Structure 1
């Protein structure tokens, strides 16, 4: 046996230890932005904590008569705080009218002034040219941002903050609390509380903690008047008795609040927030930016604000893990007729690669099963949305669609606990979503908070709101747990892709799912009316994807399974003279032109297709096509059934529903069933679609 000298082993050990320590030091230096390493090779933990600094924030509008979507609300580069950074800073305008178009003459846009760390590094490396300010000639420009980076934001909320005594200047409670937190609780402060409590008992007045001499004198005068008014001993004693009883009931630590008349218990001393002075605001670096918005400046650090966005509606949610939605305080706009409030949402720290950090490997469970929940036609709005064709015995005049839809969806998620969710289009309800991002976030929030992976196809309404089709898909695919993909740029549409699922105990591919963009309306209505169709280049792209996956699927020791999902049904869904299970309540709005998509998917081995679009159809149809004189190809063509209360219903009181697919690779089996909104605990229409790797005949 070959043996190395001990000297060699020690030297190798020393070298490995040295390189290990050196690697850790380099990664730590990269995290603290001392050096810059290639991002693709750095674990997320060692990435820098911030990628940009935000040094200003502003709201600006324009007259709608002269409005240009590119120039309205745009702030010039030389405006705002800290003009010494103008050569490396830029204003970013959010392309969202904060009034959602409700003001016909004065739309408003929010912008923030950012400085990227990349520009900072370039500035640090640039040689001095004699024209830079002294602060920009430092060895490390990051130190010039001390106390110049926005670290927090607060917004005045009239309904609550106006109740704070003495808050005539409209300070947000968050600002008042921040100032109050800096006050040291010492003997002098305690004595002040005791004195204040004594005056409260005699006068009934609630005092703020920042009483100056004038305020104290005013309350002293009021105390005298109060005593003169209540000079009868019986009234005075009754008041004391009531106060003692109240303090006993409110005591939270079990201590006795019984005291002699005129005596105050230390547990009864109640802190009341001070109204900040100008000096205190300057000391804590709070600054007002208009429209109820306050910002606090501080030093660069791991929790500084590096992203700002706006979402709308009382039901808005923020599914991104490192973002915080300021739901307590909507932005304040005077003379705004918008009934949908706007809320700031803030990102702290560096931008996170969600796919790298959150997306798991898609695998079958240990027992060989994999459950899919299909969610079709949510039709979410910006705001709560309006119910359409609601079927309910307790229907109210004002029916909020999206909360009802979400309640049903979340119940089914908790009952079924799916491994994967497929959204088959019309997540966003077009014109009812003037901010499509808000609707998108609502649609995926139930899955993200449960850590359920999901994939998306687009419908004909998704891009009829504020975002283009490309932008909608980009928002979906960048979210955590999303396996959605834009697909090849050389292929028409957005969302042409394939996903594979690994076997339970192997990395080999056990199943493949195909996703297609079925577009919107026919581009040549004079030739073919109605809806558009899947293009020839999309079909060729699917053939290429299938060919690339064929080898890995053939290596799987059990029976591989295959499905396809998209929004608009194929013409073959009209063949209702064939066996089907479920309801066919409305006409099939498939394209008028048949591009051969069903035939190609059959050749690729797809056993089940499931779509949305026609809300009141939920059947699975066993479609059979002749391959040659001796063979035929069978495939199940299924509808998911519409789930969104915001989309149309009707058709003989159709109740919203969801479809579930259960795959089992040990048995080569695909089963399906559904659940209704009026009784989600009860599943129905159970059927076996595939068994032994073969499409089963109608039983």
Structure 2
């Protein structure tokens, strides 16, 4: 039977976002993280769990396959639908590819991810529809592979990878078809990927944001390939959710799209206290909006994150 996601009878659909879990091998820290994930899922009772990359630290793991199974064991045991995109650490191990990892997630009983569309760069690009009470599409979730590291280091372009042109073309084609199927009205949609877009730096510098930025830099790719512009043009994606920068959990709005970080599920690389947890997202059928809050390890729920005023000044645009 085809796996399909539905809004609940009360018209809501809840997602729990785990990010940067970096499972490697069994240890006390991973046991504690799994216990936290279980407690959050049992409290929130979501309709879907999304892992936004760095699910495992494959280069540190003696058995990356088992590490991935450990990472998704909690939603599997609780029989909660889940899906994942991958980050830069997921495929760093020799002879362990993102394609293998994507195929591995697809064999799990409660994984709702889909096979990759042909001719699209990366592994883990797919879209999930949320059906209403009449079994008709009422919202969509886009998942994109942001890759790992720049393929152009030898040409002087280093740092992290970026969403490629074939992925943007796939997104716009898919969005256009879904909009046409919906009578010309874009479906309320969300986007999930690992590495933040360059626009995440813009919202922190030039707009009001809510939440924390404990990382010195926002680790976006050095090239802007226009995915954000495509989202604005298509008019369906209301918000995006990323990980990658473990010390950031802020969100801000740019041109009508809320750019959100998750809350790191593993406190890796941070040299200061920062409680781990998850971001929770709730859609309501028929509404072009969503609610979101943080659920921390100690059970604390944070709905109102601290306000951050812009540190820079947006460039002035002359129309003359």
TM-score, L = length of structure 2: 0.89
Encode CA deviations 1:40-85: one digit per residue, 9 max, x unaligned.
xxxxxxxxxxxxxxxxxxxxxxxxxxxxxxxxxxxxxxxxxxxxxx
Matching residue within 627, 638, 642 for 2:264? 642
1:230 paired residue number: none
Q: Please tell me whether residue 570 in structure 1 is matched to residue 202 in structure 2.
A: no
Question: Aligned partners of 1:436, 1:515: CA distance in 2, in Å?
Answer: 22
Q: Please tell me whether residue 544 in structure 1 is matched to residue 173 in structure 2.
A: yes
Which is higher, the Rg of structure 1 or of structure 2? 1
Equivalent residues in 2 for 1:218-367 (5 A)? 356=1, 360-367=3-10
Equivalent residues in 2 for 1:143-542 (5 A)? 356=1, 360-384=3-27, 400-465=28-93, 467-503=96-132, 505-525=133-153, 526-542=155-171
Structure 2 regions of 5+ residues with no counterpart?
306-320
Question: Aligned partners of 1:482, 1:659: CA distance in 2, in Å?
Answer: 19
Secondary structure of 1:564's aligned partner: strand
Equivalent residues in 2 for 1:78-157 (5 A)? none
Secondary structure of 2:290's aligned partner: strand
Cα 1:541–1:560 change in 2 (3 A) is: closer
Secondary structure of 1:523's aligned partner: coil
Given that residues 53 and 243 in structure 2 are in contact (C-alpha distance below 8 angstroms), is that contact kept between their aligned partners in structure 1?
A: yes
Secondary structure of 1:573's aligned partner: helix
Given that residues 218 and 245 in structure 2 are in contact (C-alpha distance below 8 angstroms), is that contact kept between their aligned partners in structure 1?
A: yes
Given that residues 376 and 612 in structure 1 are in contact (C-alpha distance below 8 angstroms), is that contact kept between their aligned partners in structure 2?
A: yes
Q: Offset at 1:666?
A: 4.0
Question: Aligned partners of 2:48, 2:188: CA distance in 1, in Å?
Answer: 15
Secondary structure of 1:607's aligned partner: strand
Q: Offset at 1:667?
A: 4.1
Secondary structure of 1:418's aligned partner: coil
Secondary structure of 1:412's aligned partner: helix
Q: Offset at 1:686?
A: 4.1
* CA RMSD in angstroms, aligned pairs only: 1.8
Secondary structure of 2:141's aligned partner: strand
Encode CA deviations 1:244-299: one digit per residue, 9 max, x unaligned.
xxxxxxxxxxxxxxxxxxxxxxxxxxxxxxxxxxxxxxxxxxxxxxxxxxxxxxxx
Q: Offset at 1:641?
A: 1.9
Question: Aligned partners of 1:372, 1:380: CA distance in 2, in Å?
Answer: 21
**Greater helix proportion:** 1
Q: Which has the higher contact order (CA 8 A, sep 6+)?
A: 2
Question: Could you list the runs of 4 or more consecutive aligned residues of structure 1 that deviate by over 4 angstroms after TM superposition?
Answer: none
Given that residues 674 and 686 in structure 1 are in contact (C-alpha distance below 8 angstroms), is that contact kept between their aligned partners in structure 2?
A: no
Question: Aligned partners of 1:547, 1:536: CA distance in 2, in Å?
Answer: 16
Encode CA deviations 1:339-394: one digit per residue, 9 max, x unaligned.
xxxxxxxxxxxxxxxxx4xx64210011110000001010101332xxxxxxxxxx
Encode CA deviations 1:154-204: one digit per residue, 9 max, x unaligned.
xxxxxxxxxxxxxxxxxxxxxxxxxxxxxxxxxxxxxxxxxxxxxxxxxxx
Q: Offset at 1:534?
A: 0.8
Cα 1:668–1:594 change in 2 (3 A) is: closer
Secondary structure of 2:36's aligned partner: helix
Question: Aligned partners of 1:443, 1:380: CA distance in 2, in Å?
Answer: 6
Given that residues 583 and 618 in structure 1 are in contact (C-alpha distance below 8 angstroms), is that contact kept between their aligned partners in structure 2?
A: yes
Structure 1 regions of 5+ residues with no counterpart?
1-355, 385-399, 625-633, 688-699
Given that residues 608 and 636 in structure 1 are in contact (C-alpha distance below 8 angstroms), is that contact kept between their aligned partners in structure 2?
A: yes
Q: Please tell me whether residue 592 in structure 1 is matched to residue 214 in structure 2.
A: no
2:309 paired residue number: none
Q: Please tell me whether residue 620 in structure 1 is matched to residue 243 in structure 2.
A: no
Counting matched residue pairs gives 299
1:8 paired residue number: none
